[in-house]
Structure 1
Amino acid sequence: MDKPIKSYGLDELPDIIESLGQPSFRAKQLAQWLYVHHADSYDQMTNLPTALRARLAECFPLHAPSLAERRISHDGTRKYLVEYHDGTCVETVAIPSRSGDRLTVCFSTQAGCSMQCAFCATGQAGFERNLVPGEIADQVLLAQNDMGRRVTNIVGMGQGEPFLNYRNVLAALRILNDPQGLAIGARHISISTCGVIEGIERFSHEPEQFTLAVSLHAARQSTRDLLMPRVARYKLPDLKQALMRYVKKTNRRVTLEYVMIDNVNDTDRDLEALNAFCSDLLCHVNLIPINAVEGSPFQPSDPLVLDQWVQSIQSHGKEATVRDSRGSDIDGACGQLKRTKCFT
């Protein structure tokens, strides 16, 4: 028995089909059953020969995830607990825009997270395992089916550090971007990293125009090390140089995510450091009032501080926005995702 079929990317399916002595067009049919029709068994793949279906089932098991639970926010956001065949669970969030013209899905790339950021619920439970390409794509498909409408945007900002699961994440993005699949445009696909420099360098060489976001959260080294201890080895000057190279290589703007925490990273010195970090960098700053996490001492910055920061960043020639956090009443907002077996 080989690995489960969803462990493979789209570019690997032709080799699987060839190894089973089948013509190459069967690979496209298989991909459509997996990621367009979202088949949960080979028996459903009626345009594949019976013998091929039997061989696939024998050699490449097909595991379908399930929605263990679902919670619906007053603002229309939905949070899902997705359970895989081995009992591993992750959380996924579907966020309809207030205007109704977009549906964004925030997906997880790992079960749990090893980064242990001080303000994030995911890291409190530790790391379990990486997700394979099909498991990542399935989160988007499950959310789309439940919402009953097409997903227009996806963001890898759920549980896990995407660049510590690089190969599987990129394979999943290509499944979701495939014009014969979900056909989500590359510019509507964003990946957020804590600042793993090797991943940023690698991402800059990908041919697709995926969007890069970086969880900065502090532009003073001592504060960032306190909030994000597992990326302390990536020093801020080195991170900025990596981002400068990324922009030069791709000609694409970077989004800097900054969780605003009262009296921790929102002082005048922090603002001055952030403006200095942004200088000469093609970037957009997304300020995020911290959301409540059980057991955390952190509190959100005063709205007046947020206004001051937006005005200051804009006065330095950079775009700055305050994130409209959605789903906080169902623990579905930034930093609130866990991987519990059931919601509490």
Structure 2
Amino acid sequence: MYNIFDFNMEDLRNWMKNNGESQFRASQIMDWLYKNGQWNFDCMTNIPKSLVKKLKTNFYIEIPELVKSYQSKLKDTTKFLYKYRDGNIIETVVMKYKHGNSICVSTQVGCRMGCKFCASTVGGMVRNLSSGEILAQVLRSQSEIDERISNVVLMGSGEPLDNYDNVLKFLKMISCDYSLNIGQRHITLSTCGIVPKIRQLAGENLQITLAISLHSPDDINRIKIMPIANKYSIKEIIDSCRYYIDKTGRRISFEYALVRGVNDSLKCAEGLTRLLRGLLCHVNLIPVNEVKENDFKKSSLDNIKGFYNKLVENKIEVTIRREMGSDINAACGQLRRSYLESKRYRKGVENGGDLVRCGQSKKTK
């Protein structure tokens, strides 16, 4: 059986044709799934019963079950723990801004990149998520908050470019008018720097924002933070970024997690300035989220301001990321890991699970 959310319009039309059905039925089904939020074939009232039977025989609708949701004290951030049909749990974060709702989606269950400041990588990678499983995070979250999501960030658990084909299909599907119609300029993909995939992405004719997790201006320091630096040097990453910019005309964002005593000195700021000078880019400074599995500490306010001012002085475009959801472990992987370790989860597994069931969106219940 197939997850119907893994099918784009062309895929579903071809399936209809190959199974003796009118191709316009694909549009009707897509309307039910995306515009009406109906995730039950039996409730698609304009679909013939004979086709409904075929659909139920060949497809399933993979909307993840809601395990639990957590809302920050300021009510600007909500983290959802979702469970897929195979029992794997991922996390998704929705952040409310004045300009609209943004969602941070996961692209893998776990991660194998090994970045020291990230809880997602603790325990390694379990599996890739399909394009439809990534898309379903947006659908389910949109239903939970009962508001439209207008911005997407691929910055949750997993390395997007390590799941290239599924992520690419997701990016194309979510921006289609039959789907959620979220413009690609409202989508950001974050990568730790898989050089060949950055170059490949440059040729896909996308309008997304590419964000590079850099976190150090030199290889020696970066290797201590990010094992991927053993494979791809900063020079190789910057060269691939130049290629991406030349090919797409799009500005690149560099993420820089400030870790006390590791990469937050003025010397590091000066090194970053030299590295990025003349590049069409923006730097996003991130006060590091403290993870219990390592001893990394957040930079002091003075060091954060000093680092920021040094970049500004050298005419590097820079912002400091607003901290959201720190009271609900909203950093990548923290909530999933703590939940998997909890007695409640172990008890739930032993007893067959106590998870919330779902069949359709709130709007159609």
TM-score normalised per structure 1:
0.94
Contact kept? 1:9, 1:133, Cα under 8 Å: no
Counterpart of 2:93?
93
Counterpart of 2:210?
212
Q: How much has 1:341 moved relative to structure 2?
A: 5.1
Contact kept? 2:284, 2:321, Cα under 8 Å: yes
Contact kept? 2:270, 2:310, Cα under 8 Å: no
Instruction: Write out aligned runs for 1:140-219 (5 A).
Output: 140-219=138-217
Instruction: Write out aligned runs for 1:55-94 (5 A).
Output: 55-76=54-75, 77-94=77-94
Q: Cα gap change, 1:8/1:180 in structure 2, threshold over 3 Å: closer, same or farther?
A: closer
Q: Any idea what the Cα deviations from partners look like across 1:163-214, whole Å, max 9, x if unmatched?
A: 1111111222222211233221111111101111122112212223111111
AA in 2 matched with 1:54: K
Q: Cα gap change, 1:335/1:301 in structure 2, threshold over 3 Å: closer, same or farther?
A: farther
Q: Cα gap change, 1:207/1:26 in structure 2, threshold over 3 Å: closer, same or farther?
A: farther
| Residue 255 (str. 1) matches residue 253 (str. 2) | yes
Q: State the identity as a percent.
A: 37
Q: CA RMSD in A?
A: 1.7
Contact kept? 1:9, 1:172, Cα under 8 Å: no
Contact kept? 1:72, 1:78, Cα under 8 Å: yes
Q: How much has 1:334 moved relative to structure 2?
A: 5.2
Instruction: Write out aligned runs for 1:246-285 (5 A).
Output: 246-285=244-283
**Unaligned 5+ residue runs, structure 1?**
none
Contact kept? 2:312, 2:318, Cα under 8 Å: yes
Q: What CA distance in whole angstroms lies between the structure 2 residues aligned with 1:63 and 1:322? A: 37
Q: How much has 1:126 moved relative to structure 2?
A: 1.2
Q: What CA distance in whole angstroms lies between the structure 2 residues aligned with 1:116 and 1:130? A: 16
Contact kept? 1:254, 1:283, Cα under 8 Å: yes
**Unaligned 5+ residue runs, structure 2?**
343-365
After superposing the two structures, state which structure 1 stretch, 55-64 or 5-14, moved more: 5-14
Q: Structure 1 residue runs of 4+, over 4 Å off?
A: 339-344
TM-score normalised per structure 2:
0.89
AA in 1 matched with 2:74: D
Within the candidate set 108, 112, 132, 1:110 is matched to 108
Counterpart of 2:21?
22
After superposing the two structures, state which structure 1 stretch, 173-182 or 186-195, moved more: 173-182
AA in 1 matched with 2:24: F
Within the candidate set 293, 307, 310, 1:309 is matched to 307
Contact kept? 2:91, 2:106, Cα under 8 Å: yes
Give the match's secondary structure for 2:239: helix
Q: What CA distance in whole angstroms lies between the structure 2 residues aligned with 1:243 and 1:308? A: 26
Q: How much has 1:61 moved relative to structure 2?
A: 2.6
Counterpart of 2:318?
320
AA in 1 matched with 2:159: E
Counterpart of 1:296?
294
Q: Cα gap change, 1:29/1:343 in structure 2, threshold over 3 Å: closer, same or farther?
A: farther
Contact kept? 1:221, 1:235, Cα under 8 Å: yes
Q: What CA distance in whole angstroms lies between the structure 2 residues aligned with 1:109 and 1:115? A: 13
Q: What CA distance in whole angstroms lies between the structure 2 residues aligned with 1:334 and 1:132? A: 19
AA in 2 matched with 1:41: N
Q: How much has 1:125 moved relative to structure 2?
A: 2.1
Q: What CA distance in whole angstroms lies between the structure 2 residues aligned with 1:343 and 1:148? A: 30
Q: Number of aligned pairs?
A: 341
